[in-house]
Amino acid sequence: MRLLLTGCSGQVGFELQRALAPLGEVVAVDHADCNLADADGVRRLVQGTRPDVIVNPAAYTAVDKAESENELAAAVNAAAPGILGEEAAKFGAFVVHYSTDYVFDGTKEGAYREDDASNPQSVYGRTKRDGELALANANLRHLILRTSWVVGAHGGNFAKTMLRLAAERDSLNVVADQWGAPTSAALLADLTAHLVRQQQGSPASFPYGTYHCVAGGETHWCDYARYVIAAAIKAGKPMQATPETIRPITTADYTTPARRPANSRLDTRKFRDTFGLELPHWQRGLDHILQQIL
């Protein structure tokens, strides 16, 4: 089996290199190898590689910057998945793509299901939603995994930012009215490898489509930060801030160019029931990451 992996230097892409390696030949590329904003370059990459599977974690993820770079965000997040799907369809390749809780507006009281109406409130969210549609229209053999609050040992993320700031400052203000589930990049990679293996074994009966794939449980950003700092202190790392000096604030207190969904809870029942897989609590995945970086 030949697999084409984009975004190999990102949080999920880095873990996918490890997880996909036992399945076959992995052709791993990053921005330097192929700029996903270059439509012709994307086509040449797929045509030259002729993979059996394309795994696409690459994305324009600078949520605030996307508000002023909407054309670039659209090229990477919206157009490129459609192009990957079109090219893959020419020789029957399977495409795995990752999307986000930002396709929803965050106003629902409970967890979002796959069939809930999307209503993105930011350029990032709109381009990711458009990318889902473009891929689904281009290639029936697709799997879209919507996830949230990705965290990994490799690359930048919220947990590492909190560790850096808590080492520099004796108190922090962190938003406490946005809810979701920190999801391990390693978990996403391992689940992807399992699903790719399943699809390749029975492509005709594989349940293609869109699924929500996040860790179990829920929290808000402030308690997430407190959990990370508590772990760092327990590990003996010098921190100026403590969990007690991390103060909750509202979204209104912390304005950003792009609107964030207050509710990023994603219902994973369809994923669990369809594939017979459990999704561990977010603290388990985060603990493993913190062991690596502390």
pLDDT digits (tens, 9 = 90+) for 229-248: 999 999 999 999 999 999 99
Instruction: Return the H-helix or E-strand segment holding 98.
Output: strand 94-100
Question: CA-to-CA distance for 148 and 160, rounded, in angstroms?
Answer: 16
Q: What class does CATH assign to 2-156+181-217+260-281?
A: alpha beta
The pLDDT, as a whole number, for residue 104 is: 98
Q: How do the domains of the chain map onto residue ranges? A: 2-156+181-217+260-281
**How much is the pLDDT for 29?**
97
Q: Which residues of the chain have pLDDT under 50?
A: none
Q: Is 24 left (phi over 0), alpha (psi -120 to 50) or beta?
A: left
* Phi (first) and psi of residue 218, to 5 degrees: -155, 160
Return the pLDDT at 227: 98
> Which pLDDT score, from 0 to 100, does residue 260 have?
96
Q: Which residue has the tokens 């930002």?
A: 102
Is 98 an annotated catalytic residue?
no
Q: Which two tokens stand for residue 282?
A: 């977010």
For position 181, what pLDDT does the model report?
98
pLDDT on residue 247:
98
pLDDT digits (tens, 9 = 90+) for 77-94: 999 999 999 999 999 999
Give the Cα-Cα-Cα angle 172, 177, 183 (nearest 5 degrees): 85
**What's the whole-number average pLDDT of the chain?**
97
User: What pLDDT sits at residue 213?
Assistant: 98
The SS3 of residue 34 is: coil
Instruction: Identify the active-site residue in 124, 211, 224, 227.
Output: 124
Rounded to an integer, what distance in angstroms lies between the CA atom of residue 45 and that of residue 51? 10
Place of tokens 């970086």: 293
Least Cα distance to 96 among 51, 36, 126, 60 occurs for 51
Q: Output the furthest CA–CA distance in the chain (Å, rounded).
A: 57
